[in-house]
Structure 1
Amino acid sequence: MTNNSDEAFSDTTVPGRVGAPPRLLTFRNSPAVKFILIGLLTILLLAPATFVWVLVEERADRARDVARDIARSWGGTQKINGPYLVVPYDETALYQTKDGQTERRKLKRTAVFFPKKLDVSGDIDVEERQKSIYSLPVYHSRLRLSGRFAAPELDMLKAESEAGTVSVNMEEAYVVVGIGDISALKSEVLMTLDGAQSVPFEPGLGAMKPARGYTSRGAGNMSGGINASVPSQKWRQGFTFDIDLQLNGSSGLFVAPSGQTTKVSLASNWPHPGFTGAFLPEERTISEEGFEATWTIPYLARGIPKLLQTSEIPLENKLLGVKFVEPVNFYQTISRSLKYAVGFISLTFLAVFVLEMRSGWSFHWIQYGLVGFALIIFYVMLLAFAEHVGYGPAYLIAAGAATLLNAVYVGTSLRNRFAGVVMLLVLGAIFGVLFALMREQDYALLIGSVIAFVALAVTMFVTQRIDWSGSGEAVPRDDSNPA
């Protein structure tokens, strides 16, 4: 008499058991054929994984749009470039025209002198501003720019002039400071000369303009800066200066090393700084309460002479500073994790396949597909929950749901509680490794390669006694029963 369970599953009985199916059906359900079908199914699941990746990028774009909206109302990334002493002058010289004649032309030019010494100190209070479910690190900064301009060497202008005469406009000299977003200034700006006289700043860069390719958001027609006139008797003899700025901003703060010798000291309550730019800090201290950083840039390291004849703000490509990095950019993290989706799904299918071969019950390829779709839904749940509760809790919720669902499903489908427990442990290990891979980006390749090797080794030995041909011949399961 045939066992009822064998009759019920006679079309999917594992080869080698009582009640094996006919030859053609045996071929279709042989372990080798099923293994190939599972591989094809894994590749097919790349399609929904790609749709999830598109969804992640769409949500990331939405988050960036909201961040730009917050920055427009609060203040964008700030770039402090200056101060510079700008001295307008007229150059008169003979020029040859196209018809071979010579004529005298008078051209207006600007000379830019750098401070002999510049000290920039700043205290930056950072907080997260939220709009809807999105947030952006914004800050209020209190900056002091102090230093000294030496008496300009006006003879250098004649040396630099193109064989002409130079006439300096003594009363038109001014100090200019480039600011990334002047709409975020929160107080009037004064420059104190020699510790006594105060000169107010006006909006705009005067005769100067931003460097080519540089745009200053929020600056309008003012070209992203402020300027203040300096009396002739002051700038010709050299003077000290103090400038206090109160600026709102977001995402980052950058400073140009505009002094011949520049020292920058920044302190903030943000514990996740990202130091970047042309120069990195010499000293930095980072703790849970915030950070402190100091830069010192000598004259030679800056690579720019003491005087420039230019109408553009210099040093736009030599900024230094800090970005206020969010601890976990979960959109980027989820996007990276989707790159491991094939290996992630393959390991899960491999575990189910081994359990199926050892349990004696068949697991249909459609059931494999359902397990795979549960893993794809994991990414969608991770994205959805992360936008509300953060990446860590979201990962725990999504991974726990996917692990429990698949473990119960596999255990009940294979009529084996042990199989369900094994799947619970396997999926827990897989999700744990995936979480570690996302946190250790620098070691992701190393960790992934080791895991792939271990998984292959385990597969080779666990499936060593499987009858891959589906011939129906019993395969011995212990050493006491030779092949």
Structure 2
Amino acid sequence: MFKHPLFTKLAALGAVVLLLMVGLSMIEGVVRDRQRYRSLTAQSVADSLAGPQTLMGPLIHSACVESWDEETGKGDERRMVERRREFRLTAMPEQLKISTGAAMEERARGLHKVNTYTLKAQVAAQWGSLAGLVPQSTLKNSRMHCGAPIVMMAVGDARGIRTAQFTLGPQALALKPGTFHPAYSRGLHAVLPESVRGKADGLAATLDLELVGTERLAIVPLGGNTEVLMTSGWPHPSFAGRFLPSEREVKKTGFAATWRLSSLATTAQADIAEGKPVCAGGLDNDPRSPEYGTGSASQGGPCADSFSVAFVDPVNPYSLSDRATKYGVLFIALTFVAVGLFELMKKLRVHPVQYLLVGSALCSFFLLLVSLSEHLPFGTSYAVAASACVLLLAYYASHMLGGLTRGIPLGAGIAVLYGLLYLLLQLEQTALVVGSIALFLVLAAVMVLTRNVNWYGVSSQGGTPRRPGAPATPPAARPEAA
């Protein structure tokens, strides 16, 4: 039974499909490699310019030491030893208002482009009573010593700081690099006069900051009440983090978003006071530490809340090409079914090598797509690659199936498949339902077309199909039935 021509043909077609699947997997590997190269490009730009930025602050802190004398030993060996306790006092702003505007600029490495931005931010902070900066003794007769109060602003990558101006009331303070904070060392700081310690009526400060970053900006809601207004000319923001904007407006010309948060809704103040890393990453003092970037507030991890905006490219040719190649096996299967229907209904004979060539043309579409999309817009690349493959397959099918009246409908069907695939790539929420309905309709059409086929007769007459263009066997030459 397995030597029957039908089973031999099916086995050959199975081998052809396996070869084509190997080719598709190699094309998928090419797409993944190009995606990896783009990631390396983004990292290269971040290494040369500045990485994703995180803003945290301003806050006031002061390093203190409590020391006392303690008697140790017995008898003649008794002596006084000084003991020390180091701690840090922190004052968080009661009111924090941040207004930012991000101007986008593309940076490129070869064929790959990366979104960078120049951020101009105005940060206004209002502190209430600063009694929390007054140290409290834990032991009787202990000695207290505190360093000068420092107001600091931490950033994700200090290399991105372009200009900064800090004013305390009407007075401009001299800014210096670093923060003198053990957990958030990257940023800037200014030394405050000792008179602010314990000030009952608080103080107000303003920071004007120009900052360069790459692809993403995160902000820590550090105030008792935090209000952030962010605007940009980039029309494709991706809002993430622990809090979405209270208000947002996204247009083709850009976006505007506003966050209004209360300390009742976040533990950011307590977490920053304890020196925890920020959930968005980028503010941990030691990236090699086990907890760096691993915290997740949603999972109760050791990190402080933040929210962020990513300046994403919605038409990433590599992600779209990767999605397209996942439909490659379905494309090959549907095309082979169409050719098989012609072979069955028109009594033709199509060699497995011809199936292999048709499948190879289908596979070449995906390679054309990813290569052209590196130089042209994705829509244009898709149209060029699909048109080239449809014309080639229609031309070849006209000779393979024995005429234009058969080749052109096959080419038209493949063109419809490419159109459906492009539609699926553009859809997000409804891609699955549209694809499922389309596949069901194709299956229904095949079942309707083959509803009267005698499959037992086909399997018992494996040699009856003729070559395209070959004359039918005249009735007189046919053997008589016994």
Interval containing the TM-score (normalised by the shorter chain) = 0.7 to 0.9
The whole-number CA distance in structure 2 between the counterparts of 1:76 and 1:249 is: 5
1:386 and 2:373 aligned? yes
Deviation at 1:166, TM superposition (A): 7.4
Instruction: Give the direction of change, closer, same or farther, for the CA distance of 1:312–1:225 in structure 2 (3 Å limit).
Output: farther
Q: Helix, strand or coil: the match of 1:62?
A: helix
Using a 3 Å threshold, how does the CA distance of structure 1 residues 113 and 472 change in structure 2: closer, same or farther? same
Code of the aligned partner of 2:334: L
1:144 counterpart (106, 122, 132): 122
Post-superposition offset of 1:151: 2.0
Counterpart contact for 1:121–1:145, Cα < 8 Å: yes
In structure 1, the residue matched to 2:235 is: 271
CA distance in 1, matches of 2:168, 2:371: 56
| SS of residue matched to 2:245 | coil
Q: Which letter maps to 1:47?
A: V
1:424 to 402, 411, 415: 411
Separation in 2 of the partners of 1:306 and 1:312?
9
1:346 aligns to 2:324 (yes or no) = no
The answer for the alignment partner of 2:216 in structure 1 is 252
Say if 2:434 is the partner of 1:447.
yes
* CA deviation vs aligned residue, 1:419-450 (integer Å, no higher than 9, x gap): 21211221111111111222213323222222
Q: 1:454 to 1:296 in 2, by over 3 A?
A: same
Distance of 1:276 and 1:166 partners within structure 2: 47
Which of 232, 235, 257 is 1:293 aligned to?
A: 257
Q: CA deviation at 1:74?
A: 2.9
Of 319, 324, 328, which residue of structure 1 is paired with 2:306? 319
Does residue 1:53 correspond to 2:28, yes or no? yes
Give a deviation string over 1:166-202, Cα, whole Å, max 9, x none.
7352x51101111111112112x221112x0111221
**What letter is aligned with 1:232?**
E
**Residue in structure 2 matched with residue 200 of structure 1 by the alignment:** 174
Matched letter for residue 201 of structure 1: L
Superposition CA RMSD, Å = 3.0
Work out the CA distance in 2 between the residues paired with 1:167 and 1:86. Answer: 16
Deviation, 1:376, is 1.1
How much has 1:56 moved relative to structure 2? 0.9
Distance in 2 (CA, whole Å) between partners of 1:135 and 1:200 is 38
Q: Map 1:87-106; keep pairs closer than 5 Å.
A: 87-92=62-67, 105-106=83-84
Looking at structure 2, the residues matched to 313 and 414 of structure 1 have their Cα atoms a distance apart, in angstroms, of 67
Aligned residues: 433
Aligned counterparts of 1:314 and 1:60: Cα–Cα separation in 2: 28
| Pair 347,129 (structure 1): closer, same or farther in 2 beyond 3 Å | same
Contact 2:222–2:269 (CA under 8 A) maintained in structure 1: no
Residue 463 of structure 1: how far off its partner (Å): 2.1
- Of 173, 181, 198, the residue aligned with 1:236 is 198
Q: Match of 1:227, as an amino acid?
A: H
Whichever residue aligns with residue 463 of structure 1, its letter is: T
CA contact (8 A) 1:192 1:242 kept: yes
Q: Does 1:415 align with 2:402?
A: yes
How much has 1:309 moved relative to structure 2?
Answer: 5.3
CA-CA distance at 1:37 after TM superposition = 4.3
Q: Tell me the amino acid that sits aligned with residue 167 of structure 1.
A: M
Letter of the 1:174 counterpart: I
Distance in 1, Cα, partners of 2:104 & 2:346: 58
Contact 1:173 1:229 in 2 (8 A): yes
Q: Deviations over 1:18-60 (max 9, x none)?
A: xxxxx998x31x3x76456434532432111111111111111
1:44 is aligned to 2:44: no
Match 1:110 to one of 82, 88, 94: 88
TM-score under structure 1 length normalisation? 0.82
1:372 aligns with 2:359: yes
Cα deviation, residue 81, structure 1:
1.0
Q: 1:433 to 1:279 in 2, by over 3 A?
A: same
Query: What is the alpha-carbon distance in structure 2 between the residues aligned to residue 470 and residue 312 of structure 1?
Result: 72
Question: What is the distance in 2 between the residues matched to 1:108 and 1:305?
Answer: 21
Residue pair 2:221, 2:268 contacting (<8 A) in 1 also: no
Q: Which residue does 2:58 correspond to in 1?
A: 83
2:459 aligned partner: 470
Structure with more relative contact order (C-alpha pairs < 8 Å, separation 6 or more): 1
Helix, strand or coil at the partner of 1:115: coil
| Separation in 2, partners of 1:110, 1:72 | 33
1:231-268 deviation line (CA, Å, top 9, x unaligned): 12235322101001101111011111111111110000
Contact 1:66–1:131 (Cα < 8 Å) also in 2: yes
CA contact (8 A) 1:271 1:290 kept: yes
In structure 2, relative to structure 1, the CA distance for the partners of 1:87 and 1:432 (3 Å cut) is same
The amino acid of 1:209's aligned partner reads: A
C-alpha distance in structure 1 between counterparts of 2:387 and 2:121, whole Å:
48
**What's the counterpart of residue 156 of structure 2?**
180
1:335 counterpart = 2:313 = no
1:130 pairs with 108, 111, 114, which one?
108
Q: Tell me, which stretches of 5 or more residues in structure 2 are unaligned?
A: 280-302, 466-482
Is 417-426 or 438-447 further displaced after alignment?
A: 438-447
In the alignment, which of 94, 98, 112 is matched to residue 120 of structure 1?
98
Find the counterpart in structure 2 of residue 167 from structure 1: 144
What is the TM-score with the length of structure 2 in the denominator?
0.82
User: 1:313 and 1:226, CA in 2 relative to 1: closer, same or farther beyond 3 A?
Assistant: farther
Conserved? CA contact 1:110–1:310, under 8 Å? no
How many Å apart are 1:312 and its aligned residue? 5.7
Q: Does the aligned pair in 2 maintain the 1:113–1:308 contact within 8 Å?
A: no
Deviation at 1:465, TM superposition (A): 3.1
- For the 8 Å contact 2:268–2:305, the answer to whether it is kept is no
| Matched-pair contact (CA < 8 Å) for 1:158–1:165 | no
Contact 1:119–1:146 (8 Å) recurs in 2: yes
Q: CA deviation at 1:70?
A: 2.2
Structure 1 residues 39 and 464, CA, compared in 2 at 3 Å: closer, same or farther?
farther
Equivalent residues of 1:77, 1:180 under 8 A apart: yes
Mapped pair 1:67 → 2:49: no
